Amino acid sequence: MVEKNEKTKIKYRRLSSIYDLTAGSFLFSRIRRKEFELMQIQPNERILLVGIGTGLDIPFIPSYAEVVGVDMSLEMLSQAWSKSLGRNISLYEMNAEKLSFEKGSFDIVVLNLILSVVGNPYQTMREVFRVLKPTGSIWIAGKFIKTKVSLLRKVVSYITQAIGGANLSLSLQDLIKDLPLIISYEETHAMADIIQLKPKPNN
């Protein structure tokens, strides 16, 4: 898993200058806008953006929000920094699989297009759950399988992993099966689905 993370860092070092042209396209921007509208972020809430990348989520977050963004790529973070000027946003070089935050630190954790590229998405979800407040929520934009992986999807996943590290054969249910989380909202889109997770009551 460490090896995959290092390879991903190298890939995104190369892709950082053109990343906004793809992940920042109209279709992805529309999904991000809808997702953050659904969040209904309140002034007193603290938001964690895991894998903030170049900061494409920032324009859709209310200016009053306290935001923390983490990413393994310094090249991506440098672009996120330029988008965060004048905002209450802190940026850190950090591995999503080992977050340096206290338990229950955040009201909302956002994982947009990140679970498919981290070395260990299972560990990432456990870390995200650890730093989430019991009353908080996790929001995800991504594509996951719900049935057996088709041959076509395996081929496409192989290609996307070779280009940018994205694994398109992940099951979200598998990622959270050992965690007290439930899917409280799900909205299907062609490029990436919008999913909200919440801690199960009385956990």
List of residues 6+ apart from 178 with CB closer than 8 A: none
Place of tokens 């991506």: 76
Q: What would the mean pLDDT of 109-128 be, rounded to a whole number?
A: 94
Q: Please enumerate in sequence order all residues whose Cβ is within 8 A of that of 79, keeping only pairs 6 or more positions apart, or say none.
A: 16, 19, 20, 53, 54, 55
pLDDT tens readout for residues 155-176: 444 434 444 455 667 899 999 9
Q: What tens digit of pLDDT does each residue of 55-93 get?
A: 999 999 999 999 999 999 999 899 999 999 999 999 999
Give Dmax (Cα) for the chain.
Answer: 47
The β-bridge partners of 137 are 108
The model's pTM: 0.83
Instruction: Assess whether pLDDT exceeds 50 at residue 152.
Output: no
Q: Where are the domains of the chain?
A: 2-143+170-199
Q: Which residue has the higher pLDDT, 56 or 151?
A: 56
Residues 6+ positions from 148 with CB-CB distance below 8 Å = none
Instruction: Classify domain 2-143+170-199 by CATH architecture.
Output: 3-Layer(aba) Sandwich (3.40)
> What is the distance between the alpha carbons of residues 99 and 107, in angstroms, rounded to a whole number?
15
